[in-house]
Amino acid sequence: MNESFASVAVMGGGLLGGSLALAMAARGRPDAVRLWARRQETVDQALAMGIPHVTADLAAALRGADLVVLATPVGAMADLAVRMLDAGLSGGTLVTDVGSVKRLPLATVAPVLAARGVRFLGSHPMAGSEQNGIQAASADLFDGAACLLTNDGLTHPEDAVALENFWSGVGCRVSWTTCVEHDELVARISHFPHAVAALCAHVALRRPDDGRFAGGGLRDTTRVASGDAGLWAEILMENREAVTEPLLEMADRLREMLAMLDAGEQERLRLFLADAKSCRDAISRNP
């Protein structure tokens, strides 16, 4: 893989943090990455999975790192940034994150780091699962995944190139955007679908025992509703301004469909469904 950074510290032993450590190791750089986890239980699990350099000692994880990846919930990042500085994070280090919103880290994390000469540039690999924790980590999680990088003028051009090469090196397809554009985009393509999956689970499985008759359609539609409720409540609240618009738009679409059914307008309904099919089929045409 590309060696833009000689030493990478990954902060957080969850699905994304653990997968990033495994991905680097699988690409021939096991000694270039150190994984920090808050709990010793997670450290022990990571060691059992073959991640060699994992610790609950924050200072040890950060020592000598020229790239730090924040892989904790977004709401915990500002506090972690302060702790990293107290633990010896050196000026000149580049810090990125894997959070699913970008305006909040820009407002709360970047200023804390900048005051001590540490640079920040946002990342969001669009890779994940309804599964959580280090036990769900996989070395190929990032293979072919889109990764949105955000540069709102806070960092040097050479940092942007190095970070792009880093994510490309673990298998991602990299694109650039701004924090505002990022949050509006993921509100529609990630956060809104999760909210819809939760709503679908509530309605379709009003009687949970009915699930034993479910086929692939219901399972596919509601899969992400199995994600961690606390994590997703935080994400939706953090991006609530952007998520509100597609939710309101969906309410309008639901009223439109109800009107078609009420009026018996089968051809209009067919066109509505055909348009939806065309939108969905575009995903497979544009990997």
CA distance 281 to 157: 37
135, 110, 105: which is closest to 120 by C-alpha?
110
Of 44 and 287, which is predicted with more confidence? 44
pLDDT band, very low/low/confident/very high, at 1 (cuts 50, 70, 90): low
How high is the pLDDT of residue 190? 96
pLDDT level of residue 155 (50, 70, 90 thresholds): low
Number of helices and strands in the chain (H, E): 13, 9
The DSSP bridge partners found for residue 12 are none
Query: Given a cut of 70, is residue 2 above it in pLDDT?
Result: no
Res 286: pLDDT: 61
- Measured CA to CA, the distance from residue 163 to residue 204 in angstroms comes to 43
Please say whether the beta carbons of 14 and 132 come within 8 A. Answer: yes
pLDDT band at 280 (very low <50, low <70, confident <90, very high): very high
Instruction: For the chain, give the mean pLDDT.
Output: 93
Q: How do the domains of the chain map onto residue ranges? A: 8-177, 182-285
Q: Phi-psi category of 81—alpha, beta or left, where left has phi over 0 and alpha has psi -120 to 50?
A: alpha
Over the stretch 216-260, which tens digit does the pLDDT of each residue have?
A: 999 999 999 999 999 999 999 999 999 999 999 999 999 999 999
Let me know the angle formed at the C-alpha of 15 by 246 and 131, rounded to the nearest 5 degrees: 65
For domain 8-177, say whether CATH 3.40.50.300 is its number.
no
pLDDT of amino acid 154: 64
Could you give the C-alpha distances from 248 to 184, 195, 201, 234, 245, in angstroms and in order? 14, 12, 19, 20, 5
HSE of 110 in the Cβ direction (CA atoms, 13 Å)? 18
Mean pLDDT, residues 260-287 taken together = 92
Tell me the C-alpha distance between 99 and 166, whole Å: 17
Taking only the tens place, the pLDDT of each residue in 103-143 is: 999 999 999 999 999 999 999 999 977 788 899 999 999 99
Share of the chain above pLDDT 90, in %: 89
Four-CA torsion 259, 263, 268, 270, nearest 10 degrees = 90
Mean pLDDT of 2-22: 92
Q: Angle formed by the axes of helices 192-204 and 229-238, to 10°?
A: 130
Q: What is the pLDDT of residue 287?
A: 56
Q: Encode pLDDT of 63-107 as tens digits.
A: 999 999 999 999 999 999 999 999 999 888 999 999 999 999 999
Q: What is the pLDDT of residue 36?
A: 97
Mean pLDDT of 270-285: 92
**182-285 to CATH, choices 3.30.1360.30, 3.40.50.280, 3.30.1950.10, 1.10.3660.10:** 1.10.3660.10
What angle, rounded to 10 degrees, do the helices at 240-263 and 192-204 form?
A: 50
pLDDT digits (tens, 9 = 90+) for 169-180: 999 999 999 999
